[in-house]
Amino acid sequence: MFGRACFGTIAAVTQEPHFRQARPADAGTLRAIAEAAFAPYVARIGRRPAPMDADFAAVAAHTLLLCAPEPAGYLTFFRRRDALFVETVALLPGRQGRGFGRLLMERAEAEARAAGLTRIVLYTNARMTENLAWYPRLGFRETGRATEEGFDRVMFARELDGSENLPKPA
């Protein structure tokens, strides 16, 4: 399904999860991950979630592909004023519940810190109830709700003060 998207690194050979910068040529891989990750929400939301219809070739410049060793998920982010904005966290359903989502968010935190940012912001759909419970467990607090582009969104933020990292799983 994904071709050779994650091959060519030592980590891929040793089976260690690792990240690599996505490229426009990875658009098909990113699309396949998004389709699988967000398909369960279509009926619940009543339409395709926004990440399923992204311009994947265009967002590749702001996307890290998680390889474990084959593509397992991706993280799309960019700087928005004084914060790192996490636009999409996508993980193949078969990889959920194994710590890969946390790995994606730990990488977001590392990227924010490396850029000298002290805050991560993101939103999720109000009907993605799993996310409404998961982000607070990672130290995020709800900052607002709004309807944007026809989607009911819940905004979250997490301050990165001192050396604090993501809370450990319970």
Fold (CATH) for 10-159? Aminopeptidase (3.40.630)
**From first to last of its 170 residues, what are the pLDDT tens digits of the chain?**
444 556 554 444 557 899 999 999 999 999 999 999 999 999 999 999 999 999 999 999 999 999 988 899 999 999 999 999 999 999 999 898 888 999 999 999 999 999 999 999 999 999 999 999 999 999 999 999 999 999 999 999 999 976 556 666 55
Can you give the pTM of this predicted structure? Answer: 0.88
Q: Domain limits of the chain?
A: 10-159
| DSSP H or E segment with residue 32 | helix 27-38
Bridge partners of 144? 155
